[in-house]
Structure 1
Amino acid sequence: MELVRRRAGWVLTVGLLTMLGWSLAVSASMPSWYDPDRDCLEAFPLVDADLARVAEHWLPPRAACVYRTGETHQFISTTRSIVLTIICALTVALTLIGLYYVVRRLTGPPGLLRSAEAVDLRSRQLRHLGIGGGLTLLILAVYSGANVLAAVLAGPPGALVMAVTTAIALSAVAAAIDREQGPLPSTVRDSRRRGTVIGLGTFTVIFVLTVAAGQFPFYQLWIAPVGAVAYLVLAGLQWSRRTRSAQLIS
């Protein structure tokens, strides 16, 4: 477990990617959303009736072709359903283990304190805001398209995994930028905490605004500039707080 603890970020990444892969596999095992009649006809050619609907269940994975005559035929076999359920349990366990150790870092040893001595804090702050805002803009622009693909190709679980992955990515990137260009004096743990607040806070802003706009679960491209502004505001507040604390100490 020591290796898992030291590679918690990678473990969490692998867990999220495998969960997304699981979502794609389950979606591919179901009748297609754009032409379920054809898939049900190919699976059950002897049924002489019109398709009424497709009954879907994601966990355990199940799908049934329901016809207007009342006939119901299972599209996903029991064996495949069991295998997909076991894979889901394993991927969720892997993801939770990685998340547990990542969260533990927020309360772990602070690490070495980096002083603000001989550092141009004004230039450092401008670099922090510029790089962070730009990367946030880029990440959310990519997410606005990837979210649609995940929802279409992998269904609701895929969209959820993509959202969680994006929130974690925003936090990780914000923490990394903070370590290099963030407020001083500071420790590695401080950067992780501030990055987590910025990442989760930014994603919360775009989530709330998307819901308020009635566009959920599809995030539009406008979330990119809005998210970048949210990043700038949150990071700016952290700089202001650090500056006030330094003034009080001095």
Structure 2
Amino acid sequence: MDRVRRRAGWLLTVGLLALTGWTTVVGFLMPNWFDATEDCARTFERPDSHGIRVVTHWFPPTASCDFGGGDVRHFISPATTVLLTVAMVLIAAATGTGLYFAVRRFFEPDDVVRSAEGVDLKARLVAQLSSGAVIFVLAIAAYTGASAFAIILGGASGGAVFGLAGLIMVAGLGAGLDRQVGPLPSTPLESRRRGAAAGLITFAATFLATAAAGRMPFFRIWAAPLGAVIYVVVVLVQWSRHRAAAPGRTERDRSSSPV
């Protein structure tokens, strides 16, 4: 179990990739979302799509075409449904396990303090702001493009999976940046919490701003630059609060909220 805990990040990544692949496969096997009745008519060689009723379920993944009069055909075969269901259970177990151990790292006790002695904190702040802005511009731009394909190929389920992947991505990026160039003195636990909070706040604020603009979240040309600006503002606030608390920091202070 300790080995699984140490590999939680990799397990979670593999699980999310597999989950994305699963939704893509299921979306591909389903009747065409643009005109499902026409797809049923074409697949089962019917002259037209009039009166056809299409019933679909994502889990277990099933799709059937009801032509009326008791004539119901499986668009996805029962054998395929069983295989996809078993695969989903295994993928969900792996993803859930990875997520559990990854989240648990944010609550593990950690008393090792990284000192600020001999460190140029101003240069460290500039490094976090500049590198973070660039990384979040690229990450949000890439995420927006990839999520479009996820929604097209996997439908709503694909979009939901990619939404979860986005949250984990920004939390990991934020934690990694804070660990490398975040405020000091700090414990690794405090750094993980603070960095993850910065990433999640950036993601949530960008999501809300683009959604309020009247389009699908993130699907705006200014979404990536906005995300970078939000991250910079959040980091500046975190550094300001850290400096204010630094002179009188106690053990209780180090376990408080990262933002």
**Cα RMSD, aligned residues only:** 2.2
Is 1:152 aligned with 2:152? yes
User: In the TM superposition, what are the counterparts of 1:34-183 in structure 2 within 5 Å?
Assistant: 34=34, 36=36, 39-45=39-45, 47-51=46-50, 52=52, 54-67=54-67, 72-110=72-110, 112-183=112-183
SS at match of 1:18: helix
* Alpha carbons 2:173, 2:196 under 8 Å: kept: no
Distance 1:70 1:223 in 2: 50
Structure 1 gap ranges (5+): none
* Alpha carbons 2:113, 2:185 under 8 Å: kept: yes
Structure 2 gap ranges (5+): 251-259
Question: Residues 127-177 of structure 1, C-alpha deviation per residue, up to 9 Å, x if partnerless?
Answer: 111101110111000111111110001111111111111221111111111
Report how far residue 55 of structure 1 moved. Answer: 2.9
Distance 1:236 1:244, change over 3 A: same
Report how far residue 78 of structure 1 moved. Answer: 1.5
Distance 1:22 1:117, change over 3 A: same
Q: 2:257 aligns to what?
A: none
Report how far residue 185 of structure 1 moved. Answer: 0.1
Distance 1:217 1:41, change over 3 A: farther
SS at match of 1:194: helix
Distance 2:140 2:32 in 1: 28
Q: Which amino acid in structure 1 is aligned with residue 58 of structure 2?
A: W
Aligned residue pair count: 249
Q: 1:225 aligns to what?
A: 225
SS at match of 1:89: helix
* Alpha carbons 1:49, 1:69 under 8 Å: kept: no
Distance 1:125 1:174 in 2: 14
Q: Which amino acid in structure 1 is aligned with residue 30 of structure 2?
A: M
SS at match of 1:63: strand
Is 1:21 aligned with 2:21? yes
Superposition misfits of 4+ residues, deviation over 6 angstroms? none
Distance 1:11 1:48, change over 3 A: same
